[in-house]
Amino acid sequence: MKGKDEYNGSGDIDIRRRTFLKQSTIGAAVMMGSHTSLAAALVEGKYMVADDFRKRLGECLGGPWPESGDLRPQLRQTMQKEGYRIESVTYEVEPGERVPALLLVPDGIDASHPAPAIAVWHQHNGEYHLGKSEPAGLLGNPMHHTGAALARLGYVVLCPDALCFEERQSSQLKGDAFERVAGKCLAWKNILDMRRAIDYLCSRGEVQKDKIGCYGHSMGSTHTWLVGPWEPRLKCLVGNCCMPTYAAIHRNHLIHCFPNFIPGLFQHGDTPDIVSLIAPRPLLLNFGADDEGSPIQEVREGVKLIAEAYKNHNAEDNFSYFIEEKTGHVLSEQMWNRTRDWFHKHLR
């Protein structure tokens, strides 16, 4: 990448972009009609372009989110587990709309002895009957009982249902039919709901407000890098196995779940540009080299772009990624160990 030589402060972005595309690994495909990252062309002047991209991203998502209102939290049930309790709660995200969630509180943690907190966004996997209950360790694949594992490590954990899943399914529209009509942009709605989840964590006396992180696998990873640029209260983020670029989606003719798609964004940038807006806060991304949902060629290019964003913030140590060879769309032991250690490093 020779962005420094291409940028001379003239403001002629199109000329710089064409020069970059001719030299990039995916440039040939882009010159034939698709698009790639505008920010990837630049080293000098990157902050100006990042600010412009953030503005365009907000517009494509659907505009500003409403101001936070009264959460009106309600406790439905408490279950005692070994080493922690689970509270079944609901809170209001928009007037008249409540989100069901499970809050896991380690034994010995209270308002006098608060702990760091982690919001865990559940996966998609076409399993609309599952949501919060899988990471909370109540249902689903034990591989993804990550919220329970984090609670046993001493973190307060919040596992909410995403729209269309578990208790937030539609009685009229089933599965992905509800995803398609859930809002003007499902990513916009997901981000709103996640920001309200952080509001809820901050409302709890058991939580250290300056030590809140988030984790997600698959769609949960998408949620992590979607909310990251818009939620500065998240001090540490981990995404596992999901950063499908629009370039890869076009090249491989992939069909992905709706939260991955932001209308009109591809003319301005790609998903690594979104992730780059999280800098300089600590971010870890894990990938399987054989994960067909996130083609590794574009992932390898994307993490270079993200690393450059962290370098421009003098925060190289705050970004880490791990690509596990001969591994697919899973949370492997190595991925989990890196996740656990990353939270311990940045939230403890």
Residues of the chain with pLDDT under 70: 1-48, 179-184
Residue 301 lies in a domain: no
**CATH code: domain of residue 155:** 3.40.50.1820
Residue 156 domain flag:
yes
Which residue in 215, 273, 280, 214 sits closest to 247, CA to CA? 273
Q: Assess contact for 147 and 197: CB atoms under 8 A.
A: no
d(CA 214, CA 162): 14
- Chain centroid to CA 141: how far? 21
Q: Is 137 a member of any domain?
A: yes
CB-based contact 9:45 (threshold 8 Å): yes
**49: in domain:** no
Residue 254, pLDDT score: 86
pLDDT at 169: 93
Q: What letter does residue 67 receive in the DSSP assignment?
A: P
Helices (H), the chain: 3-6, 13-23, 27-31, 46-61, 146-152, 176-181, 186-203, 219-227, 246-252, 271-276, 296-312, 333-347
- In this predicted model, what pLDDT tens digit does every residue of 52-74 receive, in sequence order? 999 999 999 999 999 989 999 99
Residue 166's region, left for phi above 0, alpha for psi from -120 to 50, else beta, is left
Strand partners, 239: 216, 285
- Interior angle at CA 305, CA 299 and CA 307, nearest 5: 100
For residue 140, being part of any structural domain is answered with yes
Q: Which residues pair with 283 in a beta bridge?
A: 237, 319
Q: Is residue 150 part of a domain?
A: yes
* Contact (CB, 8 A) for 339 and 300: no
How many residues does the structure list for the chain? 348
Angle at 252 between CA 227 and CA 287, to 5 degrees: 45
Total domains in the chain come to: 1
User: Helix-strand-coil percent breakdown of the chain, rounded to 5?
Assistant: 40, 20, 40
Q: Residue 106 belongs to what domain range?
A: 74-241+330-347
60 within a domain of the structure (yes/no): no
pLDDT of residue 24: 33
Residue 69 inside a domain? The answer is no
